[in-house]
């Protein structure tokens, strides 16, 4: 294994740095979706560059009733997976390394986009995400930072933060990786029983059914996806819908029925005790 493990900022900064540095930020419990991000980081950084994977379960982005305590922590396996995918360094700081004074008093505010969809369901979540992403960008000082499109709203907010606050980094979005049955890869999938999983598949089915109505326009996309989710509410276990939304990827506001151009069809739902999100990107042609 060639990947080096740094537990403190001092250890990270002591490592030699050559070429372009690409960072992949994670909360650990790495899976094939993360491996895809690391491989893409390796490709973009080039053989002479450096790929850093951060592993940090950020308490700031979990609400009081969320799964911070049960969030999987699997550092040894994570370092192995990062190594196999081509990472040079895993930076896995402890909480008091990232937040030496306890909870930070000064934080990033995500603004109006951070209050929509995921932000409405999880108040304060995106402030916590952006605060740790800003800190990890300072600590790792990368040329490029890669994030999965599965967390589409998070990606849009990180792009917006980098632009609004002049972070000297290129933010790269990487397409969602799906299993053979189309379930989007997520560290939370490990909580799903077989029955949960069968219900969870209705999320991607709703998105693909919505996407198939693209030519008929936004209203038809919403209607088609909604019909699948309405039926899924009667399954056992039920798919308990949090939101289905067809939004502008720049600010996550709902697009109009005559919208043309880019859009994101996004869904969040609870299956059993597990909350899942997924989305697909669509491009609407001019409507007459």
**Which residues make up the interface to ligand PAF (CB under 6 A)?**
25-27, 58, 61, 129, 132-133, 151, 154
Element (H, E) at 26: strand 21-26
C-beta of 149 vs 154, nearer to ligand PAF: 154
State the nearest-atom distance from the C-beta of 72 to ligand PAF, in Å.
12
Element (H, E) at 212: helix 194-212
Say which of 31, 34, 125, 259 is annotated catalytic.
34
d(Cα 105, Cα 88) in Å, to the nearest integer? Answer: 33
Q: What is the dihedral of CA 8, 9, 12, 18, to 10 degrees?
A: 170
Q: How many helices (H) and strands (E) does the chain have?
A: 9, 9
State the nearest-atom distance from the C-beta of 226 to ligand PAF, in Å.
27
State the nearest-atom distance from the C-beta of 183 to ligand PAF, in Å.
17
C-beta of 31 vs 42, nearer to ligand PAF: 31
What SS3 state is found at 188?
Answer: helix
C-beta of 131 vs 199, nearer to ligand PAF: 131
State the nearest-atom distance from the C-beta of 258 to ligand PAF, in Å.
34
d(Cα 14, Cα 12) in Å, to the nearest integer? Answer: 5
C-beta of 83 vs 151, nearer to ligand PAF: 151
Q: Is 34 a catalytic residue?
A: yes
| Residues that are catalytic | 34
């Amino acid at each position: 294994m060639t990947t080096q493990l740094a537990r403190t900022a001092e250890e990270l900064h002591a490592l030699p740095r050559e070429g372009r540095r690409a960072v992949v930020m994670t909360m650990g419990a790495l899976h094939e979706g993360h491996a895809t991000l690391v491989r893409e980081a390796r490709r973009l950084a080039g053989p002479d560059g450096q790929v850093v994977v951060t592993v940090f379960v950020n308490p700031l982005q979990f609400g009081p009733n969320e799964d911070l305590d049960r969030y999987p922590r699997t550092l040894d396996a994570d370092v192995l997976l990062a190594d196999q995918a081509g990472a040079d360094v895993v930076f896995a700081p402890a909480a008091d390394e990232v937040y030496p004074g306890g909870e930070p008093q000064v934080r990033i505010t995500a603004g109006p986009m951070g209050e929509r969809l995921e932000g409405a369901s999880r108040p304060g979540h995106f402030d916590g995400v952006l605060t740790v992403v800003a800190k990890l960008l300072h600590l790792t000082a990368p040329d490029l930072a890669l994030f999965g499109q599965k967390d589409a709203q998070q990606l849009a907010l990180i792009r917006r933060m980098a632009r609004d606050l002049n972070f000297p980094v290129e933010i790269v979005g990487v397409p969602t990786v799906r299993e053979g049955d189309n379930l989007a890869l997520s560290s939370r999938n490990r909580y799903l029983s077989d029955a949960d999983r069968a219900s969870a598949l209705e999320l991607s089915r709703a998105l693909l059914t919505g996407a198939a109505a693209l030519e008929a326009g936004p209203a038809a996309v919403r209607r088609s996806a909604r019909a699948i989710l309405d039926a899924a509410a009667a399954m056992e276990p039920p798919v308990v819908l949090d939101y289905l939304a067809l939004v502008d990827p720049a600010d996550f506001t709902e697009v109009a029925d005559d919208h043309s151009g880019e859009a994101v069809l996004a869904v969040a739902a609870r299956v059993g005790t597990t909350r899942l999100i997924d989305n697909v990107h669509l491009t609407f042609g001019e409507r007459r």
